[in-house]
Amino acid sequence: MPIGLSSFSLLLAYKLTEIERMFLFTDENNISFIRDCFIFMFLFYVVKWFLFSFYMENFYLFRYVFFDIIKNFFVCILIRILYTKFRKNV
């Protein structure tokens, strides 16, 4: 990855997720967390894939991006489960 492309992708995905949250119902429950997590992961990897492919002047297959989205989505849910379980003990 070129320097700054990952951080730019993260910043852009974060801002787009914040804009999206203004238009949707946001409550502090698990369903809204899962929705926001999926939207953030999707935006981050799609923007990263697009910018990297545009930079390299060769659009790569999207299936690699799809598997990264699914993998990180489940990791995000696992971290949320662990957080809610250990939050009571802290």
pLDDT tens-place string over residues 37-87: 888 888 888 888 888 888 888 887 888 888 888 888 889 889 888 888 888
Query: Which is higher by pLDDT, 79 or 1?
Result: 79
Q: CA 57 to CA 47: how far, in whole Å?
A: 15
Q: For residue 4, report the phi and psi dihedrals to the nearest 5 degrees.
A: 90, -10
Q: Which residue has the tokens 């659009």?
A: 59
pLDDT tens-place string over residues 9-26: 888 888 988 888 888 776
Per-residue pLDDT band at 34 (split at 50, 70, 90)? confident
Q: Give the predicted TM-score (pTM) of the model.
A: 0.74
Q: Give yes or no for a contact between 65 and 49, defined as CB atoms under 8 angstroms apart.
A: yes
Chain centroid, CA 3 distance in Å: 20
